[in-house]
A = this chain, B = another copy of it.
Amino acid sequence: MSQYIWPDSVNQFLHKLEIEHPIIQAPMAGGPTPPELVAAVSNTGGLGSLGAGYLTPEKLDSEIQKIKQITDKPFNVNLFVPESVEPRNPSKNVMNKLEEFSKELDSEIPELVDSSQSGFDDQLSVIVDNKVPVFSFTFGIPEEKVMKKLREEGIFIIGTATCVEEGILLEQSGCDAIVAQGSEAGGHRGSFVNGDNMPLIGALALIPQLVDNVNIPVIGSGGIMDGRGIAAALALGASAVQIGTAFLCTEEAGVPIPYKDSIVSSKDTSTVLTKSFSGKYARGIRNRFINEMSDLENEVASYPIQNSLTRSIRNAAKEKGDPEFMSLWAGQGVSMSRECTAEELLNMLIQETNEAIKRISNHL
């Protein structure tokens, strides 16, 4: 086990979470974070996270059991807070386009069904019953009674903010820490205020503004791929970092080979924000689906209806190994990805952070 000592500025956070390194592997829903990845990160002294937003309570329970079998270290489970906005159906053009894609992929024709977001309360019960050490969430703030229950159970609570206003609301709701999701981040935007004016603030500007406006630890995220990014986030005032994309090419990640290949051949300009896959803006590598849906983007259904509508297409693409119709979520640092084990990645991140700090402090 590493004997690396972190600066005082992050020690309080490490002590509270009972982890060794201020590195949280981001909870990436939809497959990339199987128990093996979560446990490997936690076993190496970071905080592994299960992206459980799309899991049934039964599946969530079995995944948590598996994690507990591989590690006795703290880990995090992340859920999606249900939407409070009015559901919106897709346009006829969107349905026609999705049908066209389905035919090309020989997949089921998408049907508009009632996809109400039940399940959150049941998912939460599984988390409480299993005494999960850390619970994080995105897309909003759970109801007051939920937050109260989690606090009573001694669960460490982490919310997700994309602007200062969201951070202040999260602190007021009783969160123990806040992920500052920079505009560089891959996957879904966690924004829940400001409506159509979705904040897209770069981490370098977002982290210090959040740090200045809340009194709980801020976890920097967005575009952090190596120790240089970690050192930068800590310099900006973050108490820890959350890293997603950099873990996608680890051996333990549940990422199909064509998805990994897309990451390996990516450039700094490869990612784009789209709501065509799910109805909610998310950052991923540009492909045919995104390009051909781009003119219809304002006609897609709201989340999670659009997500249900595109599921069969995404699943068929996975089975065929066709990256052009998968959601290849990735952040703007994607070209800096490395293929290795989760333990190797964490150890590199720790060493590189040390080196980056040494490089800029050699005059002190």
Interface residues in A, total, Cβ within 8 A: 57
A209 with B361: CB separation less than 8 A: no
The yes or no answer to A335 lying at the interface (CB within 8 A) is: yes
> How far is it, in angstroms, between the C-alpha of A9 and the C-alpha of B358 when the chains are bound?
10
Chain B residues within an 8 Å CB radius of A182:
202, 204
Chain B residues within an 8 Å CB radius of A222:
202, 204-205
> How far is it, in angstroms, between the C-alpha of A283 and the C-alpha of B10 when the chains are bound?
34
A265 to chain B minimum Cβ distance, whole angstroms, is: 14
* Binary contact track A329-364/B, C-beta < 8 Å → 1, others 0: 001110110000000000000000010111111111
Asked whether A269 and B224 contact (CB < 8 A) given A202-B202, A332-B202, the answer is no
Chain B residues within an 8 Å CB radius of A79:
none
Cross-interface CB contact of A361 among B7, B225, B232, cutoff 8 Å: B7
Asked whether A336 and B202 contact (CB < 8 A) given A7-B359, A197-B269, the answer is no
A234 with B269: CB separation less than 8 A: no
**A211-234 with Cβ < 8 A to chain B:** 212, 222-226, 228-229, 231-234
The yes or no answer to A159 lying at the interface (CB within 8 A) is: no
**A225-251 with Cβ < 8 A to chain B:** 225-226, 228-229, 231-237
* Binary contact track A100-135/B, C-beta < 8 Å → 1, others 0: 000000000000000000000000000000000000
> How far is it, in angstroms, between the C-alpha of A63 and the C-alpha of B121 when the chains are bound?
66
A203 with B206: CB separation less than 8 A: no
B235 with A360: CB separation less than 8 A: yes
> How far is it, in angstroms, between the C-alpha of A223 and the C-alpha of B184 when the chains are bound?
13
A146 to chain B minimum Cβ distance, whole angstroms, is: 27
> How far is it, in angstroms, between the C-alpha of A273 and the C-alpha of B307 when the chains are bound?
29
The yes or no answer to A194 lying at the interface (CB within 8 A) is: yes
Closest to A361 in B: B361
A-B complex: 9 closest residue pairs judged by Cβ atoms? A205-B223, A202-B202, A361-B361, A232-B232, A231-B235, A205-B332, A184-B202, A205-B333, A232-B235
27 A-B contacts, Cβ less than 8 Å apart? A7-B360, A8-B359, A9-B360, A164-B268, A164-B335, A165-B267, A184-B201, A184-B202, A200-B200, A201-B268, A201-B269, A202-B204, A204-B204, A204-B222, A204-B224, A204-B229, A209-B268, A209-B333, A231-B232, A231-B235, A231-B236, A231-B360, A232-B236, A234-B360, A235-B357, A235-B360, A357-B361
